[in-house]
C-alpha cells in the first residue's frame, strides 16, 4: 500500500488520524493501546490510493479533502420511533438506534430479547466485557487491511456488542439502525458492531444505515464470530443520504460446521464501499454472500469480497447483481483464495450487471486463486442491457415505455430480494428498490 | 373502416421489405394474409404493432387515427393487439402479473380504474379456459420454458383478456400440432365479433380450415399481389405460391403499377 504522508498541513481524516488520542480516564489500558496502535498504523501506511490493486476503481482523494470532524451525540432534529420505522422498517424485534454513531437509548428497544442473548452498547462493553472483546478487536483479524478499518478502531466511540449464548435461538431479528444527521459541517462516525454467536446458536442481524443529507462519512466495521454449528443471517441496507460517504467492512469468522449468510443492498451515498471478508478457518463452514447495488446519478458503489478457504470441506457462494443507471458506477471485486489445506473446497461466485444507460459503468473483477487440487470452484461475470425484444413485447401490450423498462429491471433485481427471509424487511426493501427502479407497484407483483 | 393501409413501405438497414402495401379491413372482418417465407408478412405485423427498428413511409389509418404516429403502447391502448410469432420469454416476471399490468395500463389509458385483484383473477381463469390453459401458467414467468404450443395459447389468452379491436395474429399456427392448433383456433373463433377485426398471417392453408376468413390476400415480395375470397386459400394450397398468376391481382388490389425488380 502506498503511503500518503500525514503532515502538519493535513486536514480531515488525515488530521483526525494524526491527532493525539484523547485521554479518557475511563478507558481500559487495552482499549487505549489498541487505539494508539491503530493510529500508528494509519500514520505508517497512509490512506489507499488508486494505485492500490484493491482500490483502483474507488477514489479516496476527494474524501480526504473533506474537513471531517468527529460527530457529536446531539442531532439537529428530534427523532421518533415512527421515523425510524419509516426509514428502516419495523421488524418487531430488538432494535438499537445510533444517531451520529452514538446510542440513542430513547429510540432503542431491548424488550423482545430472549434469555441467552445480550445486546450491549460499547460505551459499557469496553469496560465490562474486555475479556470477550479484546481478542476480537485486538487480535482475531490479522492486522488492518487499510486505513479506514484502522481509523474505526482508533476512533469508534460507540457501537454494539451482541452475544448469543450457545444453543440459543433468537427468533426475532436484531435490528441496528445507524442514523446520520450531519449539520453544516462534515462529520464522521465510526460505528463498530461485534457479534459473538455461541455454538449452535441462531440469530438474524439487520444493519441499516440511513441519513438526512449533509456531508458525512460513515466508517463502519462489523465483526461476526460464529461458534461451531452457529447459524447467522445478516442483512445490510445502505440507504445513506446521496451526499454521504459510506465505507464499511464486514469481517466474518465462521466456526466448524457453522453457516453464515449476508445480503447487502447498496442504494445511497455518493461513494460507498462495502467490503466483505470471510476467513474459512474451521472445517465444514458454509457462507453465502449476496449483494445488490443500484448506483444512479453520479453514485459510486464498490463491492469487494475476499473469501479465504483455509480449512477443508468449506463452501462459499457469492451472488452479486448490479443495476446501473445515469452516470452510476459499480465495482465488483471478488477474490477467492483456496489455500493448500482447503481440500474439497466448494466456491462459487457470480456477478451480473445490467446497464441502463450509455453513461453508466461497471468494473467486474472475479479473481480466483487456487493452491490445492480436489476443489470445486467456478466464477463468472456478465454485463448486459435490457432485452429490447422484451421491452417491445410489454409495450405492445399497452405498458408504457418507462414502466416496461422498470418491470424488466425489477425482474433482474428480484432474485436478490427473494433471498431476504425477514418478511417486514423484504417489503421495506422492495418498496425502496421499486421506487428506485420505477417498476410500479411491488404488491401487485405476487 | 377499421384499418386502411395506403402504400406502406418499410425497410431495415437499407433493405426494403414492404414495398407498397395497400389494404382495407372493416370491423368484424377476418382477413388472412398468406405468403411464402421472407415475403414480408411478419414485418407488416411488426410495423403495425409499432416496432421501431424499421424505416417506414406511407399511411395507416386505424379507426380514423394516424396509427404510425402512435407509440406501441398507445396502439395497444386503443385496441391494437399483435399475437407474436415468437413470444418473448421474460424471466422473473410472473405471467398473471404481466397480463394484469397490461390490462391496467390499457384501462388507465382509457380513463378506467385499475381492475381489482379478485375480479382480475376471475377474468383470467375464465379466459384461460378458452384456450385450455392450465392454471399453473398463472404464476410461471412469462413464456419461460413454455412449449411452442403453450406460448401460442398464452398469446391468445392475453388477447382474450385485453379484448382488442384489431388483432393481428402472426403465424399463430407455426409450431403447433393439430390438437393445439384446434384449441388455439377455437379460442380465436370465440373472440370473433362484430366490432373486432382480425388479420391472420399464415404460411399454411390449414389454419384457415379452422379460422375461416372473409378475405384472403396473397403477399409476395413486400406487397399484396392478389386478393379474393376464402377459396383463394384453397387455390394456393393446390397450385402453390409460384403457380398463381400474380399479374391478375395487382389491378384488383389497387396496387399502383410498378416495375417489378
Q: What is the pLDDT along chain A (446 residues), one digit of tens a residue?
A: 344 444 445 568 888 887 766 555 567 788 888 888 888 889 899 999 988 888 999 989 889 999 998 887 665 678 899 999 999 999 988 899 999 988 888 898 876 566 678 888 776 776 677 777 777 776 555 578 899 999 998 888 788 899 999 999 998 999 999 999 888 889 999 999 999 999 999 999 999 999 988 899 999 999 999 999 999 999 999 999 999 999 999 999 999 999 999 999 999 999 999 999 999 999 999 999 999 999 999 999 999 999 999 999 999 999 999 999 999 999 999 999 999 999 999 999 999 999 999 999 999 999 999 999 889 999 999 999 999 999 999 999 999 999 999 999 999 999 999 999 999 999 999 999 998 887 654 444 44
A–B: how many Cβ contacts below 8 A? 83
In this structure, what C-alpha cell is assigned to residue A368? 480466483
Gap between the Cα atoms of B120 and B124, Å rounded: 6
Q: In this structure, is residue B243 part of a structural domain? A: yes
Instruction: List the one residue out of A256, A249, A182 whose CA is nearest residue A222.
Output: A249
Run of H or E residues at A223: strand A216-226
Per-residue confidence (pLDDT) for residue A17, from 0 to 100: 81
Range of the domain at A115: 12-282
Other C-beta atoms closer than 10 Å to the C-beta of A30 total 14
Q: In this structure, is residue A5 part of a structural domain? A: no
Q: How many domains does chain A have?
A: 2
Q: Which residues pair with B147 in a beta bridge?
A: none
- Locate cell 481478542: which residue? A135
Q: Do A401 and B71 touch (CB under 8 A)?
A: yes
Per-residue confidence (pLDDT) for residue A111, from 0 to 100: 62
Reported as a pLDDT band with limits 50, 70 and 90, residue B164 is: very high
Q: In this structure, is residue B172 part of a structural domain? A: yes
Q: What is the CATH number of the domain that holds B189?
A: 3.40.50.300
H and E: helices and strands count for chain A: 10, 21
CA dihedral B60, B64, B70, B74 (to 10 degrees): -130
- Which of B90, B94, B105 is nearest residue A398 as measured by Cβ atoms? B105
Q: How many domains does chain B have?
A: 1
For the entire predicted model, the pTM comes to 0.85
In eight-state DSSP terms, residue B67 is G
Sheet hosting strand B30-34, strand order edge to edge = B80-83, B166-170, B197-202, B30-34, B215-220, B223-228
Q: In this structure, is residue A110 part of a structural domain? A: yes
Share of chain B above pLDDT 70, in %: 93
| Contact of A308 with A337, CB cutoff 8 Å | yes
Q: In this structure, is residue A342 part of a structural domain? A: no
Per-residue confidence (pLDDT) for residue A112, from 0 to 100: 54
B250 to chain A nearest CA, in Å?
A: 32
B222 pLDDT higher than 90:
yes
Q: In this structure, is residue B257 part of a structural domain? A: no
Q: In this structure, is residue A411 part of a structural domain? A: yes
| Contact of B12 with B42, CB cutoff 8 Å | no
Q: In this structure, is residue A356 part of a structural domain? A: no
Q: Please tell me if residue A403 touches chain B, with a CB cutoff of 8 Å.
A: yes
SS3 assignment, position A186: coil
Q: Do B90 and A393 touch (CB under 8 A)?
A: yes
Same domain, A230 and A97: yes
Q: In this structure, is residue B132 part of a structural domain? A: yes
Going from the C-alpha of B30 to that of each of A89, A131, A443, B253, B260, the distances in angstroms are 55, 84, 40, 17, 29
Q: Do A396 and B77 touch (CB under 8 A)?
A: no
Range of the domain at B200: 3-252
Same domain, A396 and A278: no
The tens digit of pLDDT for each residue in B107-129 reads 999 999 999 999 999 999 999 99
Gap between the Cα atoms of B135 and B96, Å rounded: 10
- Please give the ipTM for the structure prediction: 0.92
| Contact of B51 with A392, CB cutoff 8 Å | yes
| Contact of B153 with B140, CB cutoff 8 Å | no
Same domain, A113 and A230: yes
Q: In this structure, is residue A315 part of a structural domain? A: no
| Contact of A296 with A323, CB cutoff 8 Å | no
CA dihedral B97, B99, B105, B108 (to 10 degrees): -90
SS3 assignment, position A39: helix
| Contact of B95 with A446, CB cutoff 8 Å | no
In this structure, what C-alpha cell is assigned to residue A369? 486463486
Q: Do B91 and A400 touch (CB under 8 A)?
A: no
Q: In this structure, is residue B182 part of a structural domain? A: yes
Amino acid at each position: 500500500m502506498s503511503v500518503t504522508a500525514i503532515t502538519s498541513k493535513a486536514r480531515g481524516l488525515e488530521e483526525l488520524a494524526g491527532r493525539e488520542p484523547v485521554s479518557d480516564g475511563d478507558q481500559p489500558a487495552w482499549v487505549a493501546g489498541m487505539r494508539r496502535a491503530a493510529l500508528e498504523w494509519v500514520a505508517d501506511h497512509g490512506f489507499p490510493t488508486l494505485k492500490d490493486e484493491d482500490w483502483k476503481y474507488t477514489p479516496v482523494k476527494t474524501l480526504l479533502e473533506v474537513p471531517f470532524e468527529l460527530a457529536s451525540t446531539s442531532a439537529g432534529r428530534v427523532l421518533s420511533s415512527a421515523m425510524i420505522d419509516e426509514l428502516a422498517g419495523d421488524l418487531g424485534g430488538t432494535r438499537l438506534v445510533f444517531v451520529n454513531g452514538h446510542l440513542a437509548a430513547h429510540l432503542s428497544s431491548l424488550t423482545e430479547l430472549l434469555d441467552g442473548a445480550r445486546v450491549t452498547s460499547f460505551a459499557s462493553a469496553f469496560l465490562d466485557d474486555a475479556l470477550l472483546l479484546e481478542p476480537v478487536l485486538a487480535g482475531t483479524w490479522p492486522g488492518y487491511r487499510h486505513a479506514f478499518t484502522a481509523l474505526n478502531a482508533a476512533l469508534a466511540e460507540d457501537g454494539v456488542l451482541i452475544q448469543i449464548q450457545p444453543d440459543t435461538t433468537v427468533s426475532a431479528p436484531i435490528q441496528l439502525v445507524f442514523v446520520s444527521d450531519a449539520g453544516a459541517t462534515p462529520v464522521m462516525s465510526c460505528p463498530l458492531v461485534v457479534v459473538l454467536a455461541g455454538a449452535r446458536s441462531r440469530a438474524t442481524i439487520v444493519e441499516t444505515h440511513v441519513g438526512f443529507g449533509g456531508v458525512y462519512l460513515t466508517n463502519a466495521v462489523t465483526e461476526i464470530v460464529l461458534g461451531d454449528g452457529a447459524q447467522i443471517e445478516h442483512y445490510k441496507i445502505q440507504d445513506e443520504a446521496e451526499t454521504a460517504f459510506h465505507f464499511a467492512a464486514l469481517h466474518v469468522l465462521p466456526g466448524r460446521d457453522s453457516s453464515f449468510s449476508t445480503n447487502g443492498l447498496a442504494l445511497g451515498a455518493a461513494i460507498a464501499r462495502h467490503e466483505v471478508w470471510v476467513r474459512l478457518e474451521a472445517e465444514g463452514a458454509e457462507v453465502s454472500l449476496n449483494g445488490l447495488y443500484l448506483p444512479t446519478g453520479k453514485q459510486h458503489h464498490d463491492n469487494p469480497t475476499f473469501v479465504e478457504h483455509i480449512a477443508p470441506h468449506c463452501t462459499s457462494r457469492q451472488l452479486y447483481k448490479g443495476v446501473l443507471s445515469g452516470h452510476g458506477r459499480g465495482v465488483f471485486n471478488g477474490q477467492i483464495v483456496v489455500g493448500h489445506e482447503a481440500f474439497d473446497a466448494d466456491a462459487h461466485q457470480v456477478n451480473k450487471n445490467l446497464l441502463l444507460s450509455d453513461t453508466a459503468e461497471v468494473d467486474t473483477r472475479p479473481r480466483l486463486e487456487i493452491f490445492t487440487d480436489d476443489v470445486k470452484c467456478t466464477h463468472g461475470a456478465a454485463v448486459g442491457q435490457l432485452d429490447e425484444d422484451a421491452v417491445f413485447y410489454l409495450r405492445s401490450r399497452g405498458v408504457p415505455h418507462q414502466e416496461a423498462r422498470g418491470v424488466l429491471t425489477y425482474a433482474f433485481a428480484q432474485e436478490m430480494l427473494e433471498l431476504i427471509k425477514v418478511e417486514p424487511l423484504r417489503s421495506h426493501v422492495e418498496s425502496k428498490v421499486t421506487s428506485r427502479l420505477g417498476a410500479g407497484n411491488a404488491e401487485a407483483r405476487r | 373502416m377499421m384499418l386502411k393501409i395506403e402504400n406502406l413501405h418499410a425497410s431495415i438497414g437499407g433493405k426494403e421489405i414492404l414495398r407498397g402495401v395497400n389494404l382495407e379491413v372493416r370491423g368484424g372482418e377476418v382477413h388472412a394474409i398468406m405468403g411464402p417465407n421472407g415475403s414480408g408478412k411478419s414485418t407488416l405485423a411488426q410495423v403495425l404493432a409499432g416496432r421501431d427498428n424499421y424505416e417506414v413511409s406511407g399511411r395507416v389509418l386505424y379507426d380514423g387515427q394516424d396509427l404510425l404516429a402512435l407509440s406501441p403502447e398507445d396502439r395497444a391502448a386503443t385496441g391494437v393487439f399483435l399475437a407474436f410469432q415468437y413470444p418473448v420469454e421474460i424471466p422473473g416476471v410472473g405471467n398473471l402479473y404481466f397480463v394484469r399490468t397490461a390490462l391496467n395500463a390499457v384501462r388507465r389509458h382509457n380513463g378506467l380504474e385499475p381492475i381489482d385483484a379478485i375480479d382480475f383473477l376471475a377474468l383470467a381463469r375464465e379466459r384461460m379456459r378458452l384456450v385450455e390453459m392450465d392454471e399453473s401458467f398463472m404464476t410461471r414467468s412469462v413464456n419461460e420454458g413454455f412449449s411452442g404450443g403453450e406460448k401460442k395459447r398464452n398469446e391468445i389468452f392475453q388477447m382474450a383478456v385485453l379484448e382488442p379491436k384489431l388483432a393481428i395474429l402472426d403465424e399463430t399456427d407455426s409450431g403447433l400440432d393439430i390438437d393445439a392448433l384446434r384449441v388455439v383456433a377455437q379460442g380465436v373463433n370465440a373472440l370473433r365479433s362484430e366490432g373486432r377485426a382480425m388479420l391472420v398471417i399464415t404460411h399454411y392453408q390449414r389454419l384457415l380450415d379452422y379460422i375461416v376468413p372473409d378475405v384472403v390476400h396473397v403477399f409476395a415480395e413486400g406487397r399484396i399481389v392478389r386478393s379474393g375470397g376464402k377459396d383463394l386459400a384453397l387455390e394456393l394450397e393446390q397450385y402453390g405460391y409460384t403457380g398463381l398468376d400474380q399479374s391478375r391481382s395487382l389491378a384488383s388490389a389497387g396496387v399502383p403499377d410498378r416495375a417489378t425488380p
